[in-house]
Amino acid sequence: MQRARRLASVAVVASLAVTGLSACRSAPSVAAYLGDTRLTESRVQDVWDEAQAAVTKAAAGKAATMSITRADVVRTLVSADVLTQVAKQESVTLPADLTLDDYATSLHIPATTEFVRLYAEADTYVRLLRQGIKDAPAASDADLREIFETLTTAGQVQEGMSFEQFKSSLPDSNKQLVQTASAVRQEIAKITDSMDITVNPRYQPLGIPVLQFQTQNGDVRPLVMVPLGADESAPVTAVS
């Protein structure tokens, strides 16, 4: 994984996620619908269980703490599927030597797990899409204000700092990150709008992040996301 760059005092990384659920597509045993394909709760549980077993084994008898939730699994499974389709339409392919060790270290989950592999694939697709952006328009004040508000809510902006102060403090390299992320968000959204993707309300709100930030505690959170719409139907009962 490329070393995260700094956004003001916040590390920035490229990554992933997703959302939506219609009344006619609300089976409680389904975590998400991707067109005619169903991502079942059973599939989500299998991926989570494998990761948990690997973390426990790696702990070698010590207390093991899972760094991901079921929502993270849904986000990664949906993102991997969606971004594979986006990449195909954009003629983007994964490198043959996709390295998983850096992702495993960042996620605190062994590289042998399916979760790490899918996460790495989705993240790499996003990074390649970002690299392919040419002549993107400069980041607008609206784009930068979205970043400012997200970071402020997360407690990552110095108390009392105004938007203008934040904007002027950003290095050009980080403004370029926002610039390409905003362009990729629009690019992906044009494709996903017609993909008929819906997600069980228990996992909402979710989206596909094209840029994320790392808090001082090491948590990675979405900074720029591809919204896939909000569900207005009744909540679906969770399946244990």
Return the SS3 of 69.
coil
pTM over 0.85: no
Q: In what order do the strands lie in the sheet with 10-13?
A: 5-7, 10-13, 208-214, 220-226
- The strand pairing partners of 171, in sequence order, are none
From first to last of its 240 residues, the chain has per-residue pLDDT tens of 444 444 443 444 444 333 334 445 678 899 988 888 899 999 999 999 999 999 999 998 788 888 899 999 998 998 899 899 889 988 999 998 888 999 898 889 999 999 999 999 999 999 999 888 888 888 889 989 999 999 998 888 888 999 999 999 989 888 888 999 998 998 888 888 888 888 888 888 778 888 888 777 776 778 888 876 444 343 443 433
Shortest CA distance to 124 belongs to which of 85, 151, 98, 150? 98
Boundaries of every domain in the chain: 16-226
Q: What is d(CA 65, CA 87) in angstroms, rounded to the nearest whole number?
A: 34
Q: How many CA atoms lie within 13 A of 86 on its CB side?
A: 31
Q: What is d(CA 194, CA 75) in angstroms, rounded to the nearest whole number?
A: 19
Q: What is the C-alpha radius of gyration for the chain, rounded to an integer number of angstroms?
A: 18
